[in-house]
Amino acid sequence: MTWLVPLPVILPLAGAGLALTMSRHPRAQRVISVVVLTLVLVAAVSLLGLADRGPLVVDVGGWAAPVGISLVSDRLAALMLSVSAAVTLCVLLYSLAQGLADGDEEAPVAIYHPTYLVLVAGVANTFLSGDLFNLYVGFEMLLLASFVLITLGGTAARIRSGSIYVVVAIASSLVFVVAIALTYSATGTLNLAHLAQRLPEIDPGIALVLQLLLLIAFSVKAAVFPMSAWLPDSYPTAPAPVTAVFAGLLTKVGIYAILRTQTLLFAEGRADELLMTAALITMLVGILGAVVQNDVKRLLSFTLVSHVGYMIFGISLSSQAGLAAAIFYVIHHITVQTSLFLVVGLIERRGGTTSLIRLGGLARVAPLLAILFFVPAMSLAGIPPFSGFLGKLGLLQAGVADGSLLAIVLVIGGVAVSLLTLYVIIKAWNQAFVQDAPDDLPDTTLPRGMVGPTAALVALGLTLTFLAGPLYAYADRAASDLLAQSPYVDSVFSRGDRGVGESPEAAEGTPP
Amino acid sequence: MISTPDFVLVVVIAVLFAGGVYLMLERSLSRVLIGIILVSNGANLLMLVVGGPPGGAPIVGMTPEQEMSDPLPQAMVLTAIVITLGMSAFLLAMAYRSWQLNEHDEVQDDLEDRRLARQAATDQGLRSELGFDGALPATLDEDAAEARDEMALFGEERAEVDWE
């Protein structure tokens, strides 16, 4: 069944090409996008089941593993793929309904569909990549697509915020390229499994430099303090579905890269204390930024930064409990944050603004909208029984089990930030839904096609609560794989020091 | 055989990085773009240098195995060059669009920074001298809402207030 592995990358890319040729037939484009993303979702969920029996590896082009590029779908990758596929499909349906309702004025759809599919392919490529350079290519694919999406329409506000986003993203990519060059010079390989074997053998000082360079490159993408300032400024101006998919997925791609490299390549955990400190400051700075915001989009962007800190906290513990909690938290946060941004898009339509000063009384005029906001918002704040509570509980338990002073400080900080999130959410709830609006709200109705996907995503978030047992167990097994390293490395080098593939000269010849 | 990299190439890399970083810290998007191109050329050169000593074309039958150069960094540099080309084209388009809209291509301040600047100007009584027109809203909340609405005018090609 290894033929399933490349599908989440190939299908959207082929779909993007097809959609580009159909740029004059919007209806055909919509059909292509929906069909492709549905197929990706099916493939990802199948991989989720198959990867539980052991990682699936494909050596691209038939070149055996350290020579060729491998795509690896282990438990972590499959889990991330499934959630991202579900989220991107919901967001696509939402944006289709928005395009139909607006008459496609605000978004030039001819470009939107191919770009969106390339974004999905890039995200899938980073999750599946078993090679550092291929990881870089995946990053660039999703970044270029995100550049186009964030400046869609080329209005003044989007060009202003987009230019900051683009320059920051390119700068972090440059750091990544330098890290790749130095890694190659130090070890002579870029295959992740091969690096896992060779990096412990090189000079520890050089290994530390490589680790920190990679951490910087990924932290910019994941918006870890002090590399987080670009996020709250650039996300809110994009169209609602674009912001939703960026907030849900793009920072998590950075988190995934940190998680993968810190466990597979640098298992000694020499940056753990640095990561813990960064996690604490990220949580605090993010949530303090959210407290003073009056605009619900910016407010959510700041809470996004703040909650990235929780995931870094889990990774920095380097224990099975910590990693499992971090993985569960990533899954929870992708669904919840995306649904919140979609709901904000609905609020903007209903209330005509995202300013909390001008909104008000929405609970009376749009009770369904209030429910759709309330459920993920409470989950974000970590109120039981929602999935956010379970993720935070796991993180706090892992932190207490770690027992070091810094971990205990982080546990206290985590609780405080959770309470502040609740304060922020309640404040937004009061201002937008309960209090009377200063001026009358416009009298509009929400298109059913936009409410539907949002409700589906909120329901998915609720399902995470009900399925928390099996899901947490899956995350726990993924974490134990990550710590053991051997399932990943052994499946890539299935023939001793080579992978499967037809490169007989390379496989049989004596290495120089 | 242990060989050290060519000194001249290392110096060139250092110069490209230094000049590129300096330009990337500028405010004009076209200078940032030139800086990015310099740094990424430096990074590509770095990748070539770390690929080991130069040698013949890595094709079996054309060069003896011992004299071959490492093909992998060359393939990676090629990929990186293509990616940089795409990024540069996008940034150029963006700088041009920014010039169309604002008659300059400078990276503009964050919303909050602009509010802070306005507040500071008011506090120091410099408001009229710095060219800020209109009365300041009574409360911080109203000011924030006003700044947001100013930014919310998506469809209109409206020049931003120039703070300099």
Q: Which residues of B touch A181 (CB under 8 A)?
A: 43, 46-47, 50, 73
Average pLDDT, chain B: 77
Written as tens digits, the pLDDT of chain A (512 aa) is 788 889 999 999 999 999 989 888 888 888 999 999 999 999 999 999 998 888 888 888 778 878 788 899 999 999 999 999 999 999 999 988 887 666 555 455 678 889 999 999 999 999 999 899 999 999 999 999 999 988 887 788 888 888 889 999 999 999 999 999 999 989 988 889 989 988 888 899 999 999 999 999 999 999 998 888 888 888 888 888 889 999 989 999 999 999 999 999 988 888 888 999 999 999 999 999 999 888 888 899 999 999 999 999 999 998 899 999 999 999 999 999 999 999 998 888 888 878 888 887 787 888 888 889 999 999 998 888 888 899 999 999 999 998 889 999 999 999 999 999 999 999 999 888 888 877 777 777 778 888 888 999 999 988 988 888 899 999 999 999 888 888 888 888 887 777 776 655 554 544 44
Q: State the nearest Cα–Cα gap between B66 and chain A, in angstroms.
A: 8
pLDDT attached to residue A506:
52
pLDDT attached to residue B158:
38
> Do the chains contact at B47 and A177, CB–CB below 8 Å?
yes
Q: Which residues of A touch B156 (CB under 8 A)?
A: 155-156
> Do the chains contact at A156 and B40, CB–CB below 8 Å?
no
Task: State how far the Cα of A246 lies from the Cα of A146, in Å rounded to an integer.
Answer: 8
Task: State how far the Cα of A311 lies from the Cα of A62, in Å rounded to an integer.
Answer: 36
* Nearest residue to A54 (alpha-carbon basis) of A494, A473, A468, A464: A494
**For residue A34, is it within any domain?**
no
How many distinct structural domains can be found in chain A? 1
A157 at the B interface (CB within 8 A)? yes
* Contact assessment for residue A298 and residue A430, using Cβ atoms and an 8 Å cutoff: no
Task: State how far the Cα of A357 lies from the Cα of B145, in Å rounded to an integer.
Answer: 7
Q: How far is CA B9 from the centre of its chain?
A: 24
Write out the H or E segment, with its range, that includes residue A487: helix A486-492
> Do the chains contact at A157 and B24, CB–CB below 8 Å?
no
A178 at the B interface (CB within 8 A)? yes
pLDDT attached to residue A112:
87
Q: Would you state the structure tokens that stand for residue A224, as one six-digit string? A: 């870890």
**HSE (CB half, 13 Å, CA atoms) of A458?**
23
Q: For testing the chain A interface, which of B65, B148, B150 should be mutated: the one with the most A CBs within 10 Å?
A: B148
pLDDT in tens, B54-82: 778 888 888 887 888 888 888 899 999 99
Q: Which residues of B touch A158 (CB under 8 A)?
A: 154
Q: Which residues of B touch A242 (CB under 8 A)?
A: none
**pLDDT above 60 for B43:** yes
Q: What are the start-end ranges of the H helices in chain B? A: 7-24, 29-50, 71-102, 111-123, 140-152
Q: Which residues of B touch A185 (CB under 8 A)?
A: 50-51
> Do the chains contact at A182 and B50, CB–CB below 8 Å?
yes
* Contact assessment for residue A375 and residue A364, using Cβ atoms and an 8 Å cutoff: no
**Which residue in the set A137, A163, A357 is minimally distant from B145, CB to CB?**
A357
* Nearest residue to A337 (alpha-carbon basis) of A312, A302, A285, A367: A302
* Contact assessment for residue A346 and residue A372, using Cβ atoms and an 8 Å cutoff: yes
Measured from the Cβ of residue B102, the count of other Cβ atoms closer than 10 Å reads: 18
> Do the chains contact at B154 and A353, CB–CB below 8 Å?
no
**For residue A41, is it within any domain?**
no
Dmax over CA atoms of chain A, in Å, equals 79
Helix axes A26-51, A109-128, angle to 10 degrees: 10
* Nearest residue to A156 (alpha-carbon basis) of B90, B106, B154, B163: B154
Task: State how far the Cα of A99 lies from the Cα of B17, in Å rounded to an integer.
Answer: 44
Q: State the nearest Cα–Cα gap between B45 and chain A, in angstroms.
A: 10
**pLDDT above 60 for B156:** no
How far is residue B52 from each of residues A27, A162, A213, B125, measured CA to CA in Å?
53, 39, 21, 63
* Contact assessment for residue A217 and residue A209, using Cβ atoms and an 8 Å cutoff: no
Sign for the pseudo-dihedral over CA of B25, B26, B29, B35: negative
A181 at the B interface (CB within 8 A)? yes
pLDDT attached to residue B160:
37
pLDDT attached to residue A100:
66
Task: State how far the Cα of B15 lies from the Cα of B18, in Å rounded to an integer.
Answer: 5
* Contact assessment for residue A300 and residue A251, using Cβ atoms and an 8 Å cutoff: no
Task: State how far the Cα of B48 lies from the Cα of B32, in Å rounded to an integer.
Answer: 24
Task: State how far the Cα of A301 lies from the Cα of A290, in Å rounded to an integer.
Answer: 8
**Which residue in the set A166, A182, A233 is minimally distant from B91, CB to CB?**
A166
* Nearest residue to B16 (alpha-carbon basis) of A187, A41, A177, A258: A177
pLDDT attached to residue A485:
85
* Contact assessment for residue A19 and residue A97, using Cβ atoms and an 8 Å cutoff: no
> Do the chains contact at B97 and A512, CB–CB below 8 Å?
no
**For residue A343, is it within any domain?**
yes
**pLDDT above 60 for B161:** no
CATH class belonging to B7-102? mainly alpha
Confidence bin at B147 (pLDDT 50/70/90): low
Measured from the Cβ of residue A53, the count of other Cβ atoms closer than 10 Å reads: 9
Give the structural domain span for A396.
Answer: 271-478
Task: State how far the Cα of A215 lies from the Cα of A183, in Å rounded to an integer.
Answer: 13
* Nearest residue to B50 (alpha-carbon basis) of B22, B16, B10, B14: B10
Delimit the domains of chain B by residue range: 7-102, 111-152
> Do the chains contact at B149 and A166, CB–CB below 8 Å?
no
DSSP state of B68: B
Single-letter residue type at B81: I
**For residue A450, is it within any domain?**
yes
**HSE (CB half, 13 Å, CA atoms) of A337?**
31
Dmax over CA atoms of chain B, in Å, equals 81
Q: For testing the chain B interface, which of A164, A185, A293 should be mutated: the one with the most B CBs within 10 Å?
A: A185
> Do the chains contact at B87 and A170, CB–CB below 8 Å?
yes
Task: State how far the Cα of A341 lies from the Cα of B81, in Å rounded to an integer.
Answer: 36
* Nearest residue to A93 (alpha-carbon basis) of A151, A15, A14, A35: A35
CA angle A342, A377, A224 (to 5 degrees): 80
Write out the H or E segment, with its range, that includes residue A70: strand A70-73
The DSSP bridge partners found for residue A169 are none
Task: State how far the Cα of A97 lies from the Cα of A103, in Å rounded to an integer.
Answer: 10
**For residue A32, is it within any domain?**
no
> Do the chains contact at B94 and A159, CB–CB below 8 Å?
yes
N-terminal to C-terminal alpha carbon distance within chain A: 35
**For residue A438, is it within any domain?**
yes
**For residue A27, is it within any domain?**
no
pLDDT in tens, B106-134: 877 777 777 777 777 777 776 666 555 55
Q: Which residues of A touch B77 (CB under 8 A)?
A: none
Which distant-in-sequence residues (6+ apart) come within 8 Å of A277 by Cβ? A406
**pLDDT above 60 for B150:** no
Q: Would you state the structure tokens that stand for residue A290, as one six-digit string? A: 């959210």
> Do the chains contact at A157 and B152, CB–CB below 8 Å?
yes
**For residue A499, is it within any domain?**
no
Task: State how far the Cα of A431 lies from the Cα of A233, in Å rounded to an integer.
Answer: 22
Q: How many residues does chain B have?
A: 164
